[in-house]
Each structure stands twice: as structure tokens, then as C-alpha cells.
Amino acid sequence: SALNRSLYQAALARGIQLTAAYGMSETCPLISAAHLNDELQAGSEDERVTYRIKAGVPVPLVEAAIVDGDGNFLPADGETQGELVLRAPWLTMGYFKEPEKSEELWQGGWLHTGDVATLDGMGYIDIRDRIKDVIKTGGEWISSLDLEDLVSRHPAVREVAVVGVADPQWGERPFALLVVRDGQSIDAKSLKDHLKPFVEQGHINKWAIPSQIAVVTEIPKTSVGKLDKKRIRQDIVQWQASNSAFLSTL
């Protein structure tokens, strides 16, 4: 999971200086680290934090690029989003006894990570989401990771997972699953009020605000501690079908 600003600041408040890095099982494992160059070290604290929580710059011998759905290379302008693809001498060449999956992994001679990212002129990789977790609403893409970061800044929120759920009008809509801090409460309206300033500041579009939330005691996770978004989507479908009382809707 990507390091978000809220987690970074919570660690810093406890005297822990975090620096992000990026890798996956198929990359054995390190690809990049958020090393700050002299220019960034001389910048503001906010700018330093912004770059410390990115996936960072590729380590030596790693080539990184972003591509569209047809495999065309996209500009490294820090804004254009595409799938992160990689080349390096130590990357896995495929999956055991899964030739089709291996061929898909290495389309066009690059390892396809399945991550949506941007790449800037200094070489910094910023992971925006998993392709399978991007929320597609009304023809626009919403990063679940970006939205989770902003939601997590609400003072009542201890933990958050954002997923896309089917919507007959928009295709998908963001849904926020929340664990709140002891003695706190939150509903869809108060979350909307919290997110409005981020809309006004241009961090997100207004249609990124979740129209429905649920507060739970625990968010499902995989065996390695990642948010289990597949399970979360299944649970939400069941809750919506049964019109569960703990769902809060705008």
C-alpha cells in the first residue's frame, strides 16, 4: 500500500522519520526509493513530505515508464497517469506453469506492474492506484488511494478503505468504509463537509466525494495486511441488497 500523508505525519509525531520505497514480488523486490536530491532538500517541509511519500526514483539499472492501455508511452510530466512498466536485470521472467499470465506480464518487453502511476521530469514515481481499484465514474477516473488519504485526515477516522461500487447512472461511485476513533462518530454528510475544501483547492473533483459510507469495527485485510478490496466490495453488495441500517447515505 502507498504511504499517505496522514500515516507519515502520525509516525513523525512519534519521532519516526519515514521514507517510502516501491517494489513487488515480481521485482525481487526493490525498484525505487524516495531519496531527496539537493534541490528538494532545500525546499519547504511540505515539499519534502510530498516527495518522501512518493514511490521515489528508480534504483540503478532500473528503467521505468508509463504506458496507456495500448502500450503507447506517455509523457513524464508528473500529471499524466498510465500503467507503470519496468525493466531491470533481476525481474522475474514469468509465473510457474502459467505461460499466458507470464506473456501478459511482459507485454511489449516491459514488466507490467498493474499500478497506475505518474512519472515526473526528475524521475520520481508516484503510485496513484491499482488498475483494478481505480474508480470509474461518469467517464472519469478517481484514485482510491488519493481519496483514502484525504478521508484519513478527518479527525474521527482511524482507518479507511475506498472502493468503487456499481451505480446505474455513473457506472461506479466511491464508497468509504471507515473505522472511527474511540468516542468519535461520522456520517456521509460530515465526511462531505470535510472533503469540500479539498474540492475547492482542486485536489479532487466534487464527484469524488463518496455518496455512501459505512462504519465498521474492522476493515477486512489479506494475509499480508493489505486492504482486501475484493472482500470489501462483496460485503458492500450484500449490505446494499439488505438495506443495512448502518449505511449512511447523502
Verify that 108 and 206 share a domain, yes or no. no
pLDDT band at 245 (very low <50, low <70, confident <90, very high): low
What average pLDDT does this structure show over 143-161?
96
CATH number of the domain residue 99 falls in: 2.30.38.10
Asked if the model's pLDDT at residue 250 lies above 80, the reply is: no
d(CA 108, CA 97): 21
Verify that 91 and 144 share a domain, yes or no. no
pLDDT band at 246 (very low <50, low <70, confident <90, very high): low
Report which of 47, 59, 50 is spatially closest to residue 22, judged by C-alpha positions: 59
Domain end among 75, 102, 130: 130
CATH number of the domain residue 178 falls in: 3.30.300.30
Question: What is the per-residue DSSP string for 43-83?
Answer: S-HHHHHHHHTS-BEEPTT-EEEEE-TTS-B---SSS--EE
In whole angstroms, how far apart are CA 31 and each of 26, 91, 146? 10, 10, 22
Q: Output the CA torsion sign for 234, 25, 5, 69.
A: negative
Structure confidence by residue, pLDDT tens digits, 117-131: 999 999 999 999 999
What percent of the chain lies above the pLDDT cut of 90? 90
Verify that 205 and 189 share a domain, yes or no. yes
Asked if the model's pLDDT at residue 243 lies above 80, the reply is: no
Verify that 114 and 159 share a domain, yes or no. no
Domain end among 77, 112, 130: 130
Asked if the model's pLDDT at residue 76 lies above 90, the reply is: yes
In sequence order, what are the residues at sequence separation of 6 or more whose Cβ sits closer than 8 angstroms to the Cβ of residue 13? Answer: none
| Total domains in the fold of the chain | 2
pLDDT band at 85 (very low <50, low <70, confident <90, very high): very high
Q: Which domain holds residue 99?
A: 5-130
3-state secondary structure of 218: coil
Domain end among 94, 111, 130: 130
Asked if the model's pLDDT at residue 189 lies above 70, the reply is: yes
Verify that 53 and 110 share a domain, yes or no. yes
